[in-house]
């Protein structure tokens, strides 16, 4: 009998890149049947674009009435789970990248074993929630997340395993987004209302970026922030604004930029797959040294005024050598870059668990 494994896709498109490589790897293996469960035609189509051979069985779940369907807007996760929990329960092993699915544990008769692939590799405390402990197995990108989850009582070394960062296998190549050869900076603000540099300081940041005519600028906020704030608009010819597209989630921008500007987004670690200069905006002037939630701020300059950005950019290349060792060490702790592809490592862990649970 084949081993049945379901990948539950009820989150927005940015999470798909974290589970799809493992799903495709499992689907290539003999005696394994892999299904993608999603209420979204858009997400099913996006997964299909990476699966030309049609190895995945794509199952459209019921949608809540009037629920949105775009890459970055999906219906209520709880409502989707309520409508579909019996369908999901038919699969003995369910894999997901969001933690809302832990709610299924409260449904009578639900006995599927659940695996969580933690998406992202950032430092923010919001990445560690009590619902993590409701999963039977959690796969993380590197030692940092394993250590931090265990320290918070959210699992043990036996059920929190390091599988690497499979999104790198789907990353888009470096691209030209501008007609000239000026250096490119990426500004990537996070959605956390307490930590985002954009929410309280957007106008002054935009004015500063518009004045940087020696640079090309990509403004690509986290897609959750893009849904919560008015559209960012600029007529400056050296600025490209992306409020949500495949480019904003497939590493097109992190691979194509020469310098990263941000606050607390985990995308900094995707950018640092190739070490390059970073500048972090501490415009609230918060105390951050020695606080692990801001460990990534050790990997570049930290500035406390938006109008200090031109000076930071002017010295970024000269200072980069001084940050290189810290960047490489942080990447080593955050993402295990084994020569064995992460998709294969994750697939091995999932299949071993699924066979053991059968």
Residue 78 and residue 151 share a domain = yes
pLDDT of residue 357: 65
Give the strands of the sheet with 301-303, arranged side by side: 239-241, 216-219, 184-188, 259-262, 278-281, 301-303
Beta bridge partners of 261: 187, 279
Residue 302: domain span: 184-334
Residue 348 and residue 266 share a domain = no
Residue 120 and residue 71 share a domain = yes
Task: Output the domain CATH number for residue 241.
Answer: 3.40.50.12580
| CB 346 within 8 Å of CB 34 | no
Positions in the chain whose pLDDT score sits under 70: 357-358
pLDDT of residue 14: 97
**How much is the pTM?**
0.96
Residue 144 and residue 252 share a domain = no
Decide if 287 is inside a domain.
yes
Question: How many domains is the chain built from?
Answer: 2
Residue 346 and residue 213 share a domain = no
Decide if 125 is inside a domain.
yes
Residue 278 and residue 316 share a domain = yes
pLDDT of residue 358: 56
Decide if 320 is inside a domain.
yes
Decide if 321 is inside a domain.
yes
pLDDT of residue 66: 84
Measured between its terminal Cα atoms, the distance across the chain in Å is 11
> How far apart are the C-alpha atoms of 79 and 186, rounded to whole Å?
36
Residue 152 and residue 105 share a domain = yes
Residue 121 and residue 250 share a domain = no
> For the chain, what percentages of helix, strand and coil (3-state, to nearest 5) are there?
40, 15, 40
Q: How far is CA 26 from CA 29, 32, 38, in A?
A: 5, 7, 18
pLDDT of residue 356: 87
Task: Output the domain CATH number for residue 79.
Answer: 3.40.50.2000
């Amino acid at each position: 009998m084949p081993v049945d494994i379901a990948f539950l896709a009820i989150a927005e498109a940015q999470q798909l890149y974290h589970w799809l490589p493992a799903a495709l790897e499992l689907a290539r293996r003999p005696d394994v049947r892999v299904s993608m469960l999603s209420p979204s035609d858009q997400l099913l189509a996006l997964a299909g674009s990476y699966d030309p051979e049609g190895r995945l069985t794509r199952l459209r779940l019921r949608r809540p009435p009037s629920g949105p369907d775009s890459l970055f807007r999906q219906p209520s996760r709880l409502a989707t789970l309520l409508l579909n929990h019996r369908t999901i329960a038919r699969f003995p092993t369910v894999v997901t990248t969001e933690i809302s699915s832990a709610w299924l544990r409260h449904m009578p008769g639900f006995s599927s074993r659940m695996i969580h692939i933690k998406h992202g590799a950032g430092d923010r405390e919001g990445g560690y929630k009590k619902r993590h402990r409701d999963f039977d197995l959690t796969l993380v990108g590197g030692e940092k997340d394993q250590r931090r989850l265990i320290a918070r009582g959210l699992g043990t070394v036996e059920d929190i395993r390091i599988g690497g960062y499979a999104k790198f296998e789907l990353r888009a190549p470096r691209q030209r987004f501008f007609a000239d050869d000026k250096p490119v900076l990426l500004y990537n603000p996070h959605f956390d209302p307490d930590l985002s540099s954009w929410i309280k300081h957007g106008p002054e940041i935009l004015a500063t970026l518009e004045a940087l005519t020696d640079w090309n600028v990509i403004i690509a906020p986290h897609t959750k922030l893009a849904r919560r704030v008015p559209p960012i608009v600029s007529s400056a010819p050296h600025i490209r604004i992306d409020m949500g597209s495949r480019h904003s989630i497939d590493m097109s921008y992190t691979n194509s930029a020469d310098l990263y500007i941000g606050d607390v987004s985990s995308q900094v670690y995707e950018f640092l797959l190739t070490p390059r200069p970073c500048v972090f905006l501490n415009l609230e002037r918060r105390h951050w040294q020695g606080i692990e939630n801001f460990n990534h701020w050790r990997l570049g300059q930290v500035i406390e005024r938006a109008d200090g950005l031109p000076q930071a950019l002017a010295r970024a290349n000269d200072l980069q050598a001084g940050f290189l060792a810290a960047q490489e060490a942080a990447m080593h702790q955050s993402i295990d870059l084994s020569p064995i592809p992460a998709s294969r490592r994750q697939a091995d862990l999932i299949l071993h668990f699924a066979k053991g649970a059968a």
